Amino acid sequence: MKHLLQITFALFLLLPFTSGAQSVVTKSADEVKLFAASQAFNGGDYVKALNLYKEVLANSPNDASVIFHIGECYFAMGETDQALTQFEKAKSINADGHPDIRLMLGRIYQMQGKLDQAITELSAAKSRSTSATKGKEIDYYLNQCQTAKTLTASPKKVTVTNPGTIINSAYDDKRPSITADGKTMIFNSRRPGGKTSEKDKEGDNKYFEDIYISAWDSAAMKWGAADLAPGGINTDGHDAACSISPDGNQLFIYVNNADQARGGDIYFSKRNKNGKWSNPKNMGAGINTSYFEDGAVLSPDGNTMYFMSERGQDLAWKGQRGYGRSDIWMCKRKSKSEWADPVNLGPQVNTEYDEGGIFPAADGKTLYFCSNGHNTMGGYDIFMTRFENGQWTTPVNVGYPINTPNNERMFQLSADGRTAYVDSDRPGGLGERDIWMVDMTELLPKKKEGPIMSSLLGSIYNGDGLSMSAEVKVYDVNGNLVTTSTSTPQGNYNVTLEGDRTYEIRIEMPGYKAVKETVNLPADKEGSTFELVKHFIIYKE
């Protein structure tokens, strides 16, 4: 026994030395920096991450992975040109130096409207991916590219112009909201000269967001110079207007602070007789929850409020579940100061992604909104739906050039339907996001005789994402051939059919599996041409 204890004690004495010797792993200074850079990036401090990656690159100038991460930082900071330079450099050194090099190249080419190059890179990324989740993400971008090719090939008869420095700046200008009489515009901006000259040093080190107001100059037929909205709605922090009421006497405001609106709540402010706005007040429980709420806007009659919310993602909220990240909800007015419980607009409008940017049109039944979950050209696009027969119609992409492969997040239409306003980060603007004006005159409904016609359009491509020229045959429900169309060499097809009908689409090509799909083609009973975008993938036998 004494001998066994001596052996055990001797082994015990050896253990600290042996264990310590095995666990002492000296990380290089660059490895420590790479870890710190990754932590900074994940925490949203892209400048710190960028500087750390550059320090590592100085010691490894041909490391494609580090170069990729530098590009990733630029991309997150919105500096896409610099990001593209880095991604292209990383690809030239080693296309497989990081799994996402081809994916990120594809995304930037998509944003720049270089759709064929985007499809090439995204298809290459898909062929290299073994992850089902990553494959779904790549398909998401590939589908956007195909939609962009389809819609740019059939542009709407509209004219999009930038109102210039009267409204926009070299900074972020967004969320236009206009009164029913068209005389007052409210929007948000992160330009200098706001309530405070300080920058958001705890955030992105840009100027704080403030609420601005502009009046329509009837004599000059243009908007007047924008000024800070007077009263108590702008503070030393971030301030953002959701919308102005049709009569111009009430503002809905988004507030996010650690004291009263953690996560983001909707507030309201009223205009006093002297034209100043009162201090914002919380809309209260029901409208606001512990989740994110934003984007409140009133219907033209003031009896319905639409807003976006992330409630119901994990658990049902009063028996209702959300469908994605940010959904559109609505509630009816009970009294001057009370609202009924909100109702989700449902899966026809809401997707597993984000919906927002809500605008109810003057007719009281048409709703415009932005989404990155429906059939978009890239990022967020503007869509239109109508409330008919007790339900919302299938959302329609309002088309190019109102939408682009970039982000369009807010749409406002004048009461007469002649002018629209959209905020977008498309190329050619003055800053990050600009407010653009759209002449909609050519799209005004015209009286039509005979059946209401609709368009079925889209693109045809193979399993590798390459465009295909193929014959598209359309049959009615009785199996009779209605029409035949051949897609262009770029894969685009466009057929005009009687709306509010069901058709069967057939595509047959030698060496490929036949496609047969039933399509319900709605009709726009207001007189505009309904467009249903539908892509078809054909696979080799």
What average pLDDT does the segment 405-413 reach? Answer: 96
Interior angle at CA 532, CA 345 and CA 508, nearest 5: 130
Interval 375-403: pLDDT, tens: 999 999 999 999 998 999 999 999 999 99
Q: What percent of the chain has a predicted confidence (pLDDT) above 90? A: 77
| Residues in Cβ contact with 527 at an 8 Å cutoff, skipping those fewer than 6 apart | 445, 446, 447, 448
Q: Is the pLDDT of residue 142 over 60?
A: yes
Q: Are 385 and 349 in contact (CB under 8 A)?
A: yes
Integer angstrom CA distances of residue 252 from 277, 281, 282, 307, 528:
11, 10, 10, 10, 32
Phi, psi of 271 (to 5 degrees): -85, 130
Tokens standing for residue 125: 């990324």
The reported pTM is: 0.83
At 447 the pLDDT is 63
Q: Is the pLDDT of residue 16 over 90?
A: no
pLDDT top residue among 490 and 331: 331
The CATH number, out of the four listed (2.170.120.20, 2.120.10.30, 2.40.180.10, 3.90.1150.10), of the domain defined by the range 159-443: 2.120.10.30
Interval 62-121: pLDDT, tens: 999 999 999 999 999 989 999 999 999 999 999 999 999 999 999 999 999 999 999 999
| Rounded CA separation 51/462 (Å) | 42
At 219 the pLDDT is 92
At 392 the pLDDT is 96
What average pLDDT does the segment 6-33 reach? Answer: 53
At 27 the pLDDT is 67
At 273 the pLDDT is 87
Range(s) within the chain of domains with CATH label 2.60.40.10? 453-538
Amino acid in the structure at residue 213: I
Q: Is the pLDDT of residue 17 over 70?
A: no
Integer angstrom CA distances of residue 182 from 11, 158, 223, 367:
87, 20, 10, 18
> Angle of helix 132-152 relative to helix 101-111, nearest 10 degrees?
20
| Rounded CA separation 403/414 (Å) | 18
CATH no. of 453-538:
2.60.40.10
Interval 281-337: pLDDT, tens: 999 998 999 899 999 999 998 999 999 999 987 778 888 889 989 999 999 999 988
| Rounded CA separation 37/85 (Å) | 20
The full DSSP string for 271-337 is B-TTSPBPPPEE--BTTB-SS-EEEEEE-TTSSEEEEEE-TTSSS-BTTB--SSSBEEEEEEB-SSS
Q: Is the pLDDT of residue 129 over 70?
A: yes
At 489 the pLDDT is 86
CATH no. of 29-152:
1.25.40.10
Q: Is the pLDDT of residue 423 over 90?
A: yes
Tokens standing for residue 298: 């009133």
Interval 425-467: pLDDT, tens: 999 999 899 999 999 999 887 666 677 889 999 999 998 888 8
Range(s) within the chain of domains with CATH label 2.120.10.30? 159-443
Q: What percent of the chain has a predicted confidence (pLDDT) above 70? A: 94
Pairing of strands 453-462, 530-533: parallel
What average pLDDT does the segment 397-413 reach? Answer: 96
Give the pLDDT band of residue 415 (cuts 50, 70, 90).
confident
At 254 the pLDDT is 96
Q: Is the pLDDT of residue 13 over 80?
A: no
Range(s) within the chain of domains with CATH label 1.25.40.10? 29-152
pLDDT top residue among 231 and 315: 231
> Where is average pLDDT lowest: 1-10, 362-371, 517-526?
1-10
> Where is average pLDDT lowest: 16-30, 172-186, 266-280?
16-30
pLDDT, the chain, mean: 91
> Where is average pLDDT lowest: 64-68, 159-163, 260-264?
260-264
Give the pLDDT band of residue 526 (cuts 50, 70, 90).
confident
